[in-house]
Amino acid sequence: MKKLACLLLFVFCFVNVFQVQIAVSAEKKVKKSVYPGPIVPSQIYKLSKEAASTDKCSKCIVIYGDTRTNHEPHKKIVKLISDRKPETVFHTGDMVDNGAKKEEWDIFEKIVAGLRKNSEFFPVHGNHEWVAPNYFKVFNFANWITFYSLDRHNIHFTVIDSEVPFWQGSWQYKWIKRDLKQASLSDKTKFMVVLLHRPLYSSGKHGAYDSPVVSRELAPLFEKYGVDIVFSGHDHSYERLYKNGIFYIVTGGGGAPLYDMAKEHESSQIYHKSHHYLTLSVLKNRLFFEVFDDADKRIDSFKVKK
């Protein structure tokens, strides 16, 4: 037993030390080697009127997630996203049901192949991906990076891994703190966006179990460094919440079976049980968000202004 305990301790320490080494220069590695090849913004739309932008998306960034094994709804959502020709796509995690099964990744890759050809595609590590080699292979991750940050236009994106230690004292927590602090001090950063799989707040079924830990550890950091908006998945629904000056968006409707509201959160503003995706338009002094269901009907819109 003692030998087994020592072995497990060694593996845990090794993984953590390994992760901090890669996290120190995560941004550099993301740009240089994680997503190699040219970014192809196939078309940049211009908005004539912000409020009338139902079929246009300026410097378009799309966010969606939780696709797993419901392939037909996923295909439908991907087709709608592709039609908008986004520059960048973020997936909020749980791309497949079992990250260890290669055949599930083969189907996922087939569905998003066209999208990934024309748009850069950034994953958020979900609980269904597992720490599986397939995940790192599919996304060309160098050195098994699962948290990283990048800048697009005037937005700093911090992508957190809620499936490995993120709480105070962990290597990832220190990296998040340093990353947010640096971004908040940069003249190039106008908006700060965070993505992670498990929501800090949610009216869905995971809200009561997972969210209190995540929000207790991370919300003070987000509030301190001026994060504008936090995206997550995990609950299979769309929800907009607003708390202490930050929008919290749950976007887990990329195809996985949908959830009813479990218990309405006090900060909830809107909840939709539908497959959907979200577009982020980058305007001069504001970010404009629109959410569309699987019939491409707009179900929500809101803006973040500086």
**Residue 126 or 253 with smaller CB distance to Fe ion:** 126
Q: Taking CB under 5 A as the rule, which mask of x and - marks residues 46-85 in contact with Fe ion?
A: ----------------------------------------
- Say if residues 88 and 152 touch (Cβ distance below 8 Å): yes
Cα torsion 132, 136, 138, 141 to 10°: value is 170
The minimum distance between CB 145 and Fe ion, in angstroms, equals 20
- Classify residue 34 by its DSSP letter: I
Of 230, 44, 28, 277, give the one whose Cα is nearest residue 153. Answer: 44
Residue nearest to Fe ion (CB): 234
As a whole number of angstroms, the distance between CA 210 and CA 226 comes to: 23
> Phi first, then psi: what are they for 252, rounded to 5°?
-125, 40
Residue number, 35 or 277, with CB nearest to Fe ion? 277
The upper half-sphere exposure of residue 299, i.e. CA atoms within 13 Å in the direction of its Cβ, equals 22
Considering only 29, 84, 234, 236, the residue that binds Fe ion (CB under 5 A) is 234
Q: Please, which residue, 210 or 228, has the CB nearer to Fe ion?
A: 210
CB 178 within 8 A of CB 27: no
* Segment contacting Fe ion by CB under 5 A, of 48-56, 77-85, 86-94, 264-272: 86-94
Q: Which stretch binds Fe ion (CB under 5 A): 84-92, 108-116, 126-134, 298-306?
A: 126-134
From 127, 170, 182, 189, residue interacting with Fe ion (rule: CB under 5 A): 127
Nearer to Fe ion, 126 or 254 (CB): 126
Is residue 191 a contact partner of residue 287, using CB atoms and an 8 Å limit? yes
Burial per residue of 245-264, b for 16 or more beta-carbon CB atoms within 10 angstroms, e otherwise: ebbbbbbbbbbbebbebbee
Q: How far apart are CA 161 and CA 139, in angstroms?
A: 15
Nearer Cβ to Fe ion (234/243): 234
Name the segment binding Fe ion (CB under 5 A); options: 88-96, 98-106, 173-181, 296-304: 88-96
β partners of residue 270: 240
User: To the nearest whole angstrom, how small is the minimum distance from the Cβ of residue 134 to Fe ion?
Assistant: 17
Distance of closest approach, residue 128 Cβ to Fe ion, in angstroms: 6
Is the Cβ of residue 127 or residue 182 nearer to Fe ion in the bound state? 127
User: Rounded CA gap, 277 and 257, in Å?
Assistant: 15
Nearer to Fe ion by C-beta: 135 or 225?
A: 135
**Minimum Å distance from CB 163 to Fe ion?**
9
- The interface mask with Fe ion, positions 91-110, x = CB under 5 A, is ---x----------------
Strand partners, 268: 241
Measured from the CB atom, the residue of 99 and 126 that comes closer to Fe ion is 126
Q: For Fe ion, how many residues bind (rule: CB under 5 A)?
A: 4
Residues whose CB is less than 8 angstroms from the CB of residue 171 and which lie 6 or more positions away in sequence, other chains included:
16, 17, 19, 20, 23, 165
Q: Among 159-167, 183-191, 231-239, 241-249, which window interacts with Fe ion (CB under 5 A)?
A: 231-239
Give the footprint of Fe ion on residues 241-280 (CB under 5 A). none
Where does this chain bind Fe ion (CB under 5 A)?
A: 94, 126-127, 234
